[in-house]
Structure 1
């Protein structure tokens, strides 16, 4: 059971150690993150996967 230090995401309880980025599996508890299609991502993975990329250098535009 989750007694302390849990995370709530989409009205569901998660252990901090179980709440991970869908892309890189890094723990998301305590850091900024975003989501797409109900999947949580660290900002780096989200940017690399979904951000528009520069037409010249292909680096994600944030």
Structure 2
């Protein structure tokens, strides 16, 4: 379940709510997965609409 939360955050949240966890654990999982999902989306989505080309080291 933790791997699903890291790889596909919405799936991880759904699995957390299906698990027999306390409300606090479910809430913490939902908040952390939401933040992680926002980071993943922000990293992939270009701000100005142009393609992002990253140069290696």
Is the shorter-chain TM-score for this pair beyond 0.5, marking a shared fold?
no
Q: TM-score, structure 2 length as denominator?
A: 0.24
Structure with more contact order per residue of length (Cα contacts < 8 Å, sep ≥ 6): 2
- Greater fraction of residues in strand: 1
TM-score by length of 1: 0.24
Answer 1 or 2: which has greater helix percent.
2
